[in-house]
Amino acid sequence: MQVIVISESLIIRKGIVEILSKESCVDTIKESHRYTDIYKDEYDLLVIDLNKNNKQYLHDIEKLKKEKNIKVMVLDFYEDRVLFSKCMKIGIDGYILANIDSEDIGYAVKQLSKDKKYYDAELIESYISKDENECMEDLTKREREILICIAQGKSNIEISKELFITEHTVKKHTSNIFSKLNLKDRIQAALYAYNNGLIGF
């Protein structure tokens, strides 16, 4: 396979190149900090470090996969479940987290070279499994409104002013939301809202 590794971090690029250069399925491997370099040559596999600062590349990657016969493996150093969900929807071939062992990175690339896919086990499990408590129908209309506000990063005070209710009522609804959806905090609530289409990416 002809491989290109794209990351803004020199350390990440060098590390991935060193690992993949030992794999027999990799014929040539290049590295770059610019996404546009993907168009300078023909590649079989793009390994790209995606994060909150460059997730706009998702649209370009989706277009790239439609135009070229290329596989894409995403490196995620933040365990971004929203990003993972989006990647799944556009047909990303591989998705690995920062805590993965070097041997597993090699294994992932081998799987992709055999036209198979490779995703982090924990992320794929959370993506395909639905807990009984994670049921949107359990939420009242007001709770959905508050969940959307939470996903937008609004504080309890801001939510109370926007919905014309007391801060105490907001806290009570928030507690109910966490209980019904089996969530631990506002971050998980925001991810849930994104994953279930209540708010845009």
Q: What is the CATH number of the domain that holds 173?
A: 1.10.10.10
20 and 115 inside one domain: yes
Is the Cβ–Cβ distance between 61 and 72 less than 8 Å? yes
Which pLDDT score, from 0 to 100, does residue 200 have?
A: 61
Of 111, 128, 145, the domain-final residue: 128
Which pLDDT score, from 0 to 100, does residue 71 have?
A: 95
Element (H, E) at 196: none
Within 10 angstroms of residue 31's Cβ, the number of other Cβ atoms is 17
Within 10 angstroms of residue 40's Cβ, the number of other Cβ atoms is 11
pLDDT at position 201 over 70:
no
Which pLDDT score, from 0 to 100, does residue 196 have?
A: 78
Which pLDDT score, from 0 to 100, does residue 133 have?
A: 42
Whether residue 200 is contained in a domain is answered as: no
pLDDT at position 31 over 90:
yes
- Supply the pTM of this predicted model: 0.64
Among the ranges 87-101, 116-130, 148-162, which has the highest mean pLDDT value?
148-162
Of 128, 151, 181, the domain-final residue: 128
Which pLDDT score, from 0 to 100, does residue 123 have?
A: 76
Which pLDDT score, from 0 to 100, does residue 129 have?
A: 55
pLDDT at position 98 over 90:
no
- pLDDT class for 168, splitting at 50, 70, 90? very high
pLDDT at position 53 over 90:
no
The one-character DSSP state at 72 is E
Which pLDDT score, from 0 to 100, does residue 132 have?
A: 41
Mean pLDDT of the chain: 87
- pLDDT class for 2, splitting at 50, 70, 90? very high
Whether residue 201 is contained in a domain is answered as: no
Which pLDDT score, from 0 to 100, does residue 135 have?
A: 58
58 and 25 inside one domain: yes
Whether residue 54 is contained in a domain is answered as: yes
Which pLDDT score, from 0 to 100, does residue 197 have?
A: 78
Domain residue limits at 174: 136-195
- pLDDT digits 0-9 by tens, 169-184: 999 999 999 888 878 8
67 and 123 inside one domain: yes
Task: Beginning with the edge strand found earlier in the chain, give each strand of the sheet holding 2-6 in spatial order.
Answer: 28-32, 2-6, 45-49, 71-76, 94-97, 118-119
145 and 191 inside one domain: yes
- pLDDT digits 0-9 by tens, 59-94: 899 999 888 889 999 999 888 777 887 888 888 999
